[in-house]
């Protein structure tokens, strides 16, 4: 089965089992810094590049939308996103933002899904051929909602499908629009020494200010460097933000 229609209205696409090169090599990092004039620290946490094996799984074609999250709120009594009363962020087909990691996890559990590991997120975005962005190796600001577009808010999911913001597995909006929560905690030494098979950094937090969680994908105010498939960012897991949303996965 190549796709699943889930009870929350999401379409999930199959990502087959297998290996892929996760991260960025030192040579490629230097090349991008020279080519685009980025600060070196924009890519320094993406190495070393390492081979990862993942079991098969399904990933949502799009980020979870405001309309989907509203249904979850109505059925469960969960709190509204912090941006729920802001017209820039509450369009029904926009990706929901203003939810903390645990709120995203609660939605995923309600839907019978879960958040992706960062390895699952990256493979779904780039496939197995080391591409920089979901469409290939050449930056094109017309293919996504990023800082270069000047929109200043998320666009409805699927807006850039025809422009080519589609991954090798058919997942859309994986570059730009909103950052997406992953399961992994942000621990530098784990990324460099992670297990070869199905890695996930699940170091427990001691309190709401203990450490950050990984975000992937860039957002409406991120530039080319942050919207790459291998780009890694992080924020406190307990803090909702207007540029952070999520999508879900399901084991195959």
pLDDT of amino acid 193: 87
For the segment 155-213, what is each residue's pLDDT rounded down to a tens digit? 999 999 999 999 999 999 999 999 999 999 998 788 888 999 999 999 887 766 678 99
Residue 184 lies in a domain: yes
Alpha-carbon distance 107 to 126, whole Å? 26
* Percent of the chain scoring above 70 in pLDDT: 98
DSSP string spanning 122-181? HHHHHTTTT-SBTTBSS--GGGS-SGGG---SPPPTTTTTTTT-B-TTS-BS-SSSSEEE
- Kindly state whether residue 35 falls inside one of the protein's structural domains: no
How far, in Å, CA of 52 to CA of 117, rounded? 12
Residue from 245, 88, 239 nearest 179 by CA: 245
Residue 43 in any domain: the answer is no
What value does the mean pLDDT of the chain take? 94
Q: Parallel, antiparallel, or unpaired: how do β-strands 11-15 and 3-5 relate?
A: antiparallel
pLDDT at 192: 82
pLDDT of residue 209: 64
Q: Is 227 a member of any domain?
A: yes
Q: Measuring CA to CA, which residue among 117, 120, 108, 154 is closest to residue 10?
A: 108
pLDDT, tens digit (0-9, with 9 covering 90-100), for 66-97: 999 999 999 999 999 999 999 999 999 999 99
Mean pLDDT of all residues in 131-144 = 96
Six token digits for residue 139? 């930056």
pLDDT of residue 13: 98
Per-residue pLDDT reduced to its tens digit, 97-114:
999 999 999 999 999 999
| Number of domains into which the chain is organized | 1
**Which pLDDT score is estimated for 204?**
83
Owning domain of residue 124: 3-19+53-251
Contact 3/11 with Cβ under 8 angstroms?
Answer: yes
- Beta strands at 57-60 and 249-251: parallel, antiparallel or unpaired: antiparallel
Measured CA to CA, the distance from residue 165 to residue 188 in angstroms comes to 29
Identify the band that residue 37 occupies on the pLDDT scale cut at 50, 70 and 90.
confident
Asked whether residue 125 is assigned to any structural domain, the reply reads: yes
Asked whether residue 214 is domain-assigned, the answer is: yes
pLDDT at 226: 93
39 found inside a domain: no
143 located within any domain: yes
Q: Note the pLDDT of residue 6.
A: 98
Please list, in sequence order, all residues whose beta carbon lies within 8 angstroms of the beta carbon of residue 235, skipping any fewer than 6 positions away. Answer: 179, 212, 213, 215, 241, 244
Give the model's pLDDT for residue 203: 86
The CATH number of the domain where 190 resides is what? 3.90.1580.10
């Amino acid at each position: 089965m190549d796709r699943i229609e889930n009870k929350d209205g999401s379409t999930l696409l199959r990502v087959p089992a297998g290996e892929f090169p996760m991260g960025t090599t030192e040579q490629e990092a230097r090349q991008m810094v020279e080519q685009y004039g980025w600060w070196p620290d924009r890519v320094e946490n993406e190495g070393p590049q390492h081979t990862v094996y993942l079991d098969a799984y399904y990933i949502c074609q799009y980020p979870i939308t405001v309309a989907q999250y509203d249904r979850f709120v109505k059925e469960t009594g969960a709190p509204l996103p912090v941006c729920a009363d802001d017209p820039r962020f509450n369009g029904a087909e926009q990706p929901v933002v203003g939810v903390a990691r645990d709120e995203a996890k609660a939605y995923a559990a309600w839907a019978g899904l879960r958040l992706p590991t960062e390895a699952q997120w990256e493979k779904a975005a780039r496939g197995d051929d080391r591409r920089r962005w979901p469409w290939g190796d050449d930056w094109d600001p017309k293919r996504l909602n990023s800082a270069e577009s000047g929109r200043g808010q998320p666009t409805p999911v699927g807006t850039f499908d025809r422009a080519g913001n589609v991954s090798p597995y058919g997942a859309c909006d994986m570059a730009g629009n909103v950052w997406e929560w992953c399961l992994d905690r942000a621990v530098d030494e784990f990324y460099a020494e992670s297990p070869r098979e199905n890695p996930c950094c699940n170091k427990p937090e001691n309190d709401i200010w203990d450490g950050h969680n990984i975000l992937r994908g860039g957002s409406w105010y991120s530039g080319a460097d942050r919207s790459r498939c291998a780009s890694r960012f992080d924020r406190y897991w307990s803090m909702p933000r207007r540029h952070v949303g999520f999508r879900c996965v399901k084991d195959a």
